[in-house]
Structure 1
Amino acid sequence: MGGKGRHPEKALTAVQVRSLKEPGRYADGNGLYLVVEPSGSKRWLLRTVVQGRRRDIGLGGLSLVPLAEAREKALAYRKIARDGGDPLAERRRAQVTIPTFAEAAETVHAEHRATWRNPKHAAQWITTLRTYANPHLGAKRIDQIETPDVLRALSPIWLTKPETARRVRQRIGTVLDWAKAAGHRSGDNPVEGVAKGLPKQGERDEHHAALPYAEVPAFVARLRGISGPGEIGRLAFEFLILTAARTGEVLDARWSEIDEAEALWTVPAARMKAGREHRVPLSSRAGEVLARAKTLGGGSALVFPGRSGEKPLSNMVFLMALRRMSVPITAHGFRSSFRDWAAETTNLPREVAEMALAHAVENRVEAAYRRGDLLAKRRELMEEWSAYLDHTLSADDRPADAPTTAHGSPPQARSGLD
């Protein structure tokens, strides 16, 4: 069967082959199909009868095998099958060039690169394989790699770099899956059995070090009280805390994303972890931070530019600030502080805070029916968070030069948000 809306008897065109994006199988005729994977990668598949049995034969990925060549291969294999031969056996006898692991990894990276929203992730994907897998697997033909080979690649880093090792294991598996789909190897993926030969890693600590929410106002006061160079970095840090945003979202923020009149920051899907646009209501204090940042920014398109004005601040700016302040936490941990504050000092529905953090709705049924993003309720929540940060401090604790806002009294636990 072809993909949705595709008639099996209608041949594909080169334009259609390039433009098809919906996952599925699209018929070209005479048993030849273009398979579009959920990842966006495309490959050719020939379905034919070989010696009385139906067989599916991979003809390679679209990046390596264009439409015309796929048709030629399919025709040649059908002729072999019609004459009673085995196309797969003929292919092996023809000594088709099998790529090495290093070559296969580069091919997979090139095919998937367009589907990755984060260029940094795309670069890290291939870099980890070049660094940790290629010294052991790189020169080996992809069809000759077995579980012991994968074990030798992972063993040196399995305990010393556990998180990196797990990522390398997953990426090796992706390359080997591609090789099977492309017809370069058969059988089970060697990665599936490698865990039996590896020692147990220590317990994972998935939590980012965070301040108790009761200590965050004092931290913000200290941050505001610092004078001297680096003000743009301190403003970015306070903006991160006020918005409960992720580091990358703040550092790469652009003025084109800020609607000052509506007090709204719209982070595009391409920069969000979940791949969905996220609207952030801006509190009064967040607006003050942005006003000061614009004064310091010198007309840069970036809200928090680095020294050149053309590139954002380094992702080390928050870490260095924390080190100078001798606070053993992470910038990301302030999201946890915010979440704890929302849970323990308000009685608002859980999903309001979750949406403020741009977390996906875990319940699939609920996610399917929820269309809004609770913006009005989240706006009130962020104003209360800002007020809490500003007014929980006593006059004695507040630095003399700390900015003040026009917020009211500190928020108390309440019955909910209207």
Structure 2
Amino acid sequence: MPSQHRCWDGPMTKLTARKVNSLKARGFYGDGEGLYLKAGEGGAKSWILRTVVHGRRRDLGLGSARLVSLAEARTKAREFRRIAREGGDPDTIRKQKSLSFEEAARRVHAQLLPTWKNKKHAETWLATVENYANPKIGKRPLHTIGTADVLSVLAPIWTERHETARRLKQRLSTIFDWAKGAGHYPHENPVNGIKKALPTVKRQVQHMSDSVIQRVIEIEGPEFIDEAQRKYGTGWRIFVGEVAAAHFAPALSRLWYAANMMALYYVHHDDMRLGFGADTTEDYRAIDVRRLKREGLLSPGQAYGWQWSRNGAIVASIRIRTEPGRIILTYRHRHHGGDWQDESYPIYLDTTPCHLGGERHWFRCPAGGCNRRVAILYGGAIFACRHCHRLVYASQRQKPWDRASRRADRIRDRLNWPGGILEGNGWGRPKGMHLRTYERLCREHDAHSDRAMTGIMGYLECLK
């Protein structure tokens, strides 16, 4: 029976390269500090590191003795012991180093593929990563990629191909989120916060191109545009868009094309320098997908009316028909007292998974070139998102002191104090409220009140 060398914790003689090559007997040969040479049947030899990881003893393989020298085994053992001492898992770190960004992207794509209904989107998702990210970081180990590397991928195309760069940024964030959750990436997502390092790109929306108008003139004659401008005023583009749709668009998409032309005109009018307009979301009629879901109105096969009232009187109404994956809106509208126009077009629905289970429903904005995923659509020539209508929230139109006064009033409600900052403070602590909470709210209330009063006094000074 061959001799067997066993591991032991007492002093032991260091191994040498010559001894490693000459050992034949089966067993474990110690080198010190947890490093052992394991000799097996047929002369097979491998390196083993015995150490403690997260409070438990682990045996970690360091490779074959034919491929890994004694010096390399000692270096690996020191590195693994350091990782374990700092609270890490050497085995996990080793797996992280072996996974490249390119392989991680393919794994994420394979996992997401069954959740996508659009085959073209599935193809472009991976193609965007392969064309723009893989040439620069595809072969890199995933754990070595940082914010600077992601910036080097996005920066060259951020302004020239902004929409592509924006989608690529979302896909990179998805890949690194998956890698972090799967234990392949030990750092924070490098895409987070990178937007501050990239220039702001204002989305440019083009009006109806001159080539389209020129083709309409070639068909209808040069006097056609003059007649449209005389008859429809500033709304002549709508009429030309409908004519262009009738001539150039397929029969099934004529109405849809005309609706998009109307959206481009009404939403993005001539003065593009204004940015977002003065209208707020409260000035527009809206449909909310969350309310439709709560009331069970998104199930296919339903048809119902939706109304808006003011002072008890109905001022507007639409008809909604629910189909699989979309709803159909039917209504009439007119612009500045013009002729009534009938509209009927689809709004597509989308869903995303919730963190604690279930699904969240969304509208896809139907305005031309938008397709944003939103919860609320606002009525105009067509129902579109607030970005297309260039709407702001009412709070964004408030003066800074109004905002501070509103925040102070919310704190007063919580403290059961009389409304209005002019009523002062010191009305006492509500029953059941902790003293620390009361003192913190008082400090916040005083800060908001001072900011509001300073702003109001400054505004009154300007009026003198």
TM-score range normalised by the length of the shorter chain: 0.3 to 0.5
**RCO (CA 8 Å, sep 6+): is it higher in 1 or 2?**
1
TM-score by length of 1: 0.39
Q: TM-score, normalised by structure 2?
A: 0.36
Task: Answer with 1 or 2: which has the greater Rg.
Answer: 2
